[in-house]
Structure 1
Amino acid sequence: MNIPYAHGNPYHQLLYGAAGPYVAVPGAKDLDQLAQYAAGQASPVVHLHWDDRMFGRDDDPDANQDHAQRLVHRLQAFKAAGGKIFWTIHNKRAHFERDAESFAWGRGQLCALADLVHVHALHAARHMIEDWGVAPEKIRIIRHPSYLGAYEPAETTLQRPLPVSATRRFVFFGTMRGNKGIALLPETILRLAKHRPDFELLIAGKTLRRPMRQMRPMFELPQVSLQDGFIPDAQIPGVFVDSHVFLAPFGDFFTSGSVMLAQTFGLPVIGPNREEMRAITPPANHDLLYDGQRPKPLVQMMKRLIEMPHDELQDRRNHCQQFAIQTQSGTISKTFTETMQSLQH
């Protein structure tokens, strides 16, 4: 059983692969089906995701605590009935933090209740061990899968040539939250346009009201375009196929599906030189990561990519695609399934 299930994101299917007998439970806010599920299974396992959808979601702390205690009691009853809990850590903290205390209480309870804790990289393992007290023997590191084959046939993606253009095209994709480096973008892009106007930047994804206000100055530039709102699956390849470079000036982040997605389509990534970013990019492209969360180093790196010869950019693209192959669903899901099945013995 998989809770909570995120519609519109192929992550679950890529992680599980085609083999696993997994039951997705959308909207499982109260876990009230756990007892029934446990009763009907010889070795019941529940896979938990996104604890910020479970704890601290309301503006009322008392209501949050009552809800959290109800969830924890049901998980405890599930374990008492012979169930096992496998928990995937996606975020360092809640995406939309309303009640940090209730969220922290709930996460602390899951740290104790989970039989295994799945993280995507070594830095996440250290965080859960050092900051949350998870026993090291409970940690399993299984990489975030690439999106190869998720939105179009893998052969189509891998055989598509690098776009030939006199203008270097950057793309910035995903839900626009503060941790995506929104505050850094306007000054960076305005500075870049003064020195190197021969570029284009596409902002694509759901843009929240406050980030939209922050980015407004750069939308006056002819080089910048906006595709606001949810991007349907059929349109995902189109966001990337005409672009050359993915812009990821992220601030506080843990892992990034958008970075994995961009590299699947062969886009090298410009982002901060941090362990979190190095963990999800090929080592051969780590020299494209900049030091210091300021406009100047980001401008310099974008200028470098604008001036990069076509052949070198093709090499960077090849590294991204090889990374996507190494982390494709078939490889990741095999390891994941074996880990999940280990709980049933």
Structure 2
Amino acid sequence: MNSMHNNQDPDVEAIIKNHFKSSKALRFHYWPNFSSRKRSRLGVFPYPLKNPFIPLIFAKTETQILALPSIWRGIRLARLGHIDALHIQYENEIHRRTRFDPDLPPEDLVDRTIQELEDLKIKGVGLAWSIHDAESHYDESYPHHIEKLRKFLANTVDMIHVFNHAGRAFAENMLASDPDKIELVELPTCFGAYGRTPKPTPAPIKRRFLCFGTILPMKGIEGFLDCVGSADVSDKCGVITVAGPFWPGKSPDLTQHIPANRDVEMKLGFVGDSDIVDLFSNADYVVVNYRRVLTSGVVALAMTMGKPIIGTNLGGTAEAVPIENHQLLYDPENPSGLRHVIEKACEMSEGEHLALQHACQAHAARRHPNIQSKKLEAALRKHGVL
């Protein structure tokens, strides 16, 4: 496999280790004496280890980043003056707790969190919130207590971080946020997260498609499988790979949608980091046929790997890809839109597809984690969070 590596790419494992280096001390109610106070300290919650985007968002900052295991840990440290600000990422993970934290019913948990954050704001602790999603990925809507927390954050924090213009519009129009508090810093791409990235290479005559990530109804994989079976692509459609975790009770049953006239490979289950590059290298297009989306990590990963996407133009998807890739996005209101982009993808010339790969990686390079993390840190300082 042809691949390339930039020595300037962040080392995600090293970043995580650095962000967690004080985690042992954080189990106690004191701050270690050896820890210098020369830099601003920002507590980030949550900090899921299986999600590369949190370390990449803060890949190259002067600020000392602290990975928080719970919101309560952050509140306690802020109250004691050991961190200067809190940055909340996935607010629907508010239930994460350690054995030292209060175990409260969801509604009470949110009410107490709101009260604590209000008190911290009065004391001058900086507050920021990143809006990753407009709607729940897992259910038709967020629970009432999460909606309550989102509305509080939208109207209370010092800075609201959005990843695209669709996020800005959502914050202004749906959450009634102050436009002056909103900062747009695009989601970083994934350079450094999975080692070497594949070099653009000529695509085979039979085009290969990849559906990647947890199998969820909002991802529209069933619709893609139904459509690709009836698309007029003669013998130009190669293997279709569906790879990602399957959650019983939440993931749709795809077996009824596998077309008999197509080669579909199901790789259901967790995909390890060491398998990511090979998986994407063996695809020519990444399918993002989402029914609802605001910001997509799969799109950022596809761009990093130099793989164009086909799918809907919802949310911030069009902003996350180069203009050359827009021809493979469709309006979900158009009943023949998906069929059209599938056929166009299969008919695309080898030269045009190769140029499109280069355009995707060039677009990804403009959103390198080192660039985006500095932009975000500057925005946090601009709004007085740090």
The TM-score normalised by the length of structure 2 is: 0.80
8 Å Cα contact 1:122/1:141 also seen in 2? yes
Runs of 4+, deviation exceeding 6 Å: none
- Aligned residue number for residue 240 of structure 1: 280
Please point out which of 26, 40, 46 is paired with 2:81: 40
In the TM superposition, what whole-angstrom CA distance separates every residue of 1:14-42 from its partner, at most 9, and x where no partner exists? Answer: 1111334100012x1x525413334233x
In the TM superposition, what whole-angstrom CA distance separates every residue of 1:118-155 from its partner, at most 9, and x where no partner exists? Answer: 000112111111111111111000001111222114xx
8 Å Cα contact 2:236/2:346 also seen in 1? no
Q: How far apart, in 1, do the equivalents of 2:254 and 2:333 lie?
A: 17
- Aligned residue number for residue 122 of structure 1: 165
- Aligned residue number for residue 174 of structure 1: 213
Q: Percent identity over the alignment?
A: 24
8 Å Cα contact 2:168/2:184 also seen in 1? yes
Alpha-carbon offset, residue 91 of structure 1: 0.5
Alpha-carbon offset, residue 168 of structure 1: 0.8
Q: How far apart, in 2, do the equivalents of 1:255 and 1:344 lie?
A: 23
8 Å Cα contact 1:178/1:211 also seen in 2? yes
SS of the equivalent of 2:195 reads: coil
- Aligned residue number for residue 343 of structure 2: 303
8 Å Cα contact 1:171/1:240 also seen in 2? yes
- Aligned residue number for residue 273 of structure 1: 313
Q: Does 1:230 align with 2:270?
A: yes
CA pair 39-275 structure 1, distance change in 2 beyond 3 A: closer
- Aligned residue number for residue 240 of structure 2: 201
CA pair 324-39 structure 1, distance change in 2 beyond 3 A: same
Alpha-carbon offset, residue 246 of structure 1: 1.1
Deviates more, 1:99-108 or 1:236-245: 99-108
Alpha-carbon offset, residue 274 of structure 1: 3.7
CA pair 250-232 structure 1, distance change in 2 beyond 3 A: same
The code of the aligned residue for 2:318 comes to R
Please point out which of 65, 72, 92 is paired with 1:22: 65
8 Å Cα contact 2:208/2:237 also seen in 1? no
Q: How far apart, in 2, do the equivalents of 1:234 and 1:73 lie?
A: 43
Q: Does 1:86 align with 2:128?
A: yes
Q: How far apart, in 1, do the equivalents of 2:78 and 2:354 lie?
A: 50
Q: How far apart, in 2, do the equivalents of 1:284 and 1:163 lie?
A: 17
Q: How far apart, in 2, do the equivalents of 1:163 and 1:212 lie?
A: 34
- Aligned residue number for residue 106 of structure 1: 149
The code of the aligned residue for 1:324 comes to A
SS of the equivalent of 1:22 reads: strand
In the TM superposition, what whole-angstrom CA distance separates every residue of 1:231-283 from its partner, at most 9, and x where no partner exists? Answer: 11111111101111111111111110101101111111111234522111111
- Aligned residue number for residue 313 of structure 1: 353
In the TM superposition, what whole-angstrom CA distance separates every residue of 1:70-119 from its partner, at most 9, and x where no partner exists? Answer: 11122122223321111100010233347632221111111222110000
Q: How far apart, in 1, do the equivalents of 2:306 and 2:74 lie?
A: 42
The code of the aligned residue for 1:102 comes to H
Q: How far apart, in 2, do the equivalents of 1:221 and 1:31 lie?
A: 54
- Aligned residue number for residue 292 of structure 1: 332
Matched ranges for 1:305-344 at <5 A: 305-342=345-382, 343=384
The code of the aligned residue for 2:227 comes to T
8 Å Cα contact 1:49/1:89 also seen in 2? yes
Please point out which of 137, 141, 148 is paired with 1:95: 137
The code of the aligned residue for 1:228 comes to L
Q: How far apart, in 2, do the equivalents of 1:193 and 1:208 lie?
A: 32
Q: How far apart, in 2, do the equivalents of 1:193 and 1:207 lie?
A: 30
In the TM superposition, what whole-angstrom CA distance separates every residue of 1:276-312 from its partner, at most 9, and x where no partner exists? Answer: 2211111122111123356632122212211211111
Q: How far apart, in 1, do the equivalents of 2:92 and 2:222 lie?
A: 24
Q: How far apart, in 2, do the equivalents of 1:7 and 1:221 lie?
A: 40
Matched ranges for 1:153-164 at <5 A: 153=196, 157=197, 160-164=199-203
- Aligned residue number for residue 11 of structure 1: 53
CA pair 220-136 structure 1, distance change in 2 beyond 3 A: same
Q: How far apart, in 1, do the equivalents of 2:369 and 2:84 lie?
A: 24
- What stretches of structure 1 of length at least 5 have no aligned partner? 56-61
SS of the equivalent of 1:31 reads: helix
Q: How far apart, in 1, do the equivalents of 2:265 and 2:161 lie?
A: 38
Q: How far apart, in 2, do the equivalents of 1:220 and 1:295 lie?
A: 22
The code of the aligned residue for 2:175 comes to W
Please point out which of 117, 123, 145 is paired with 1:75: 117
Please point out which of 46, 52, 73 is paired with 2:92: 52
CA pair 194-152 structure 1, distance change in 2 beyond 3 A: closer
Please point out which of 178, 184, 188 is paired with 1:145: 188
